[in-house]
Structure 1
Amino acid sequence: MNRDTAGFSYLPVEPTERQRFESTALPHLDALYRMAMRLCRDPSEAEDLVQDTMVRAFRFWSGFKPGTSIRAWLFTILRNTYINRYHRKNRRRDANHDLERQAASLETGLGPVACPPPLPDQVVARRVTRDRIEEALASLPPDYKLAVTLADIEGLSYREIADIMECPIGTVMSRIYRGRKRLHGLLHDHAVAAGFAAPDHEKDAPIPMARYRKRGSA
């Protein structure tokens, strides 16, 4: 993403403060755009989302605590901005609350959840195409998609993801576990349909998410 499109230069602020913001936040602009693309699935909407995120980050720059994770702070703003835009566009507040309740019930009902290890490039699943992985990821419920993307593509810790999603670590683990499980099923079905795997063979084979880490989705 072109850093000149961040859209915050017009906001009134001291030059030194603007320079500090630019040197600290702009290196993460590409990561924000990758995340926005996976949330929006549209380049124009993704750019608008990143622009709104950077404007808000600049406006509330005084609230950032030096020594904490700037990336997690920016992702939190992007996530909240996306949710606000999503609600305005689709008017689905009730559906979002239902999803939160379902995630909370997973945490309280299942107890500690052991997440599978990160998904390496191995076996049959490595033959699944990038477009199919993106399609499968996009089909996940919003919170599952965000949690899996932050963990397996952006490489954030559970603690950072919990801060971004504003939920307990146990809820993050549940969302990642459920999201990965759905991806396994979707991509295995694709591999079977394409003749890469037998219907009952290696259904739990890992999927090649790691190869897309730190890359754009366009």
Structure 2
Amino acid sequence: MTVTCVPRPTDSEAADRFARDAQPLFGALLRRARGLTKTTADAEDLVQDTLLHAFMGYHTFRDGTDFKAWLLRILYNRWVSGFRAKQRRPSEVPVDDVAEGDLAVSAARTSTASRSAESEALTRLPDGDLRSAMATLPEDFRTVLFYAEVQGHTYAETAMILNIPRGTVMSRASRGRARLRVALDASAYAPTAQIA
């Protein structure tokens, strides 16, 4: 068996080859990016980001595979990553332009559809009742509930903050909510059974 060694291209050879292969595909990349982003400026930014990441990972591209499909997959993955990052990022507003009335109107419009029933109920309780009910919980449960329910972090974020597994966060949150229900059951805000 004979093994032939192919010399590895230099950086300038790889850059030239990448530019030569990618340039005819600019139009197709821009059309696809425009379809995803809906604006020309965002599409151009997405194509530039795609080409940058493709060039950085060009050493992983295997000859004989479809270069256009490879670039389009990178473009789509970069768009998904950007979209997810925008969803996680809180909206930014200059503080100087915000009045108290604007904050009240904004808070009234905030949707509560994604919140759990427990979270919704907890926000309606007076602070004293909630604080005393939370004080009855073990510290681990209280901490998880604070980050997950009060601060609004996801289970994954809470796990990362507390440096514990996600499953542990989910378990502690569930057990903590159950204990909170018991602790709040005696309060004046507990639902009462209506006699028909």
TM-score tier (shorter): 0.3 to 0.5
Q: Which has the higher contact order (CA 8 A, sep 6+)?
A: 1
TM-score relative to the length of structure 2: 0.39
Which structure: larger Rg? 2
Q: What TM-score does the superposition give when structure 1 sets the normalisation length?
A: 0.35
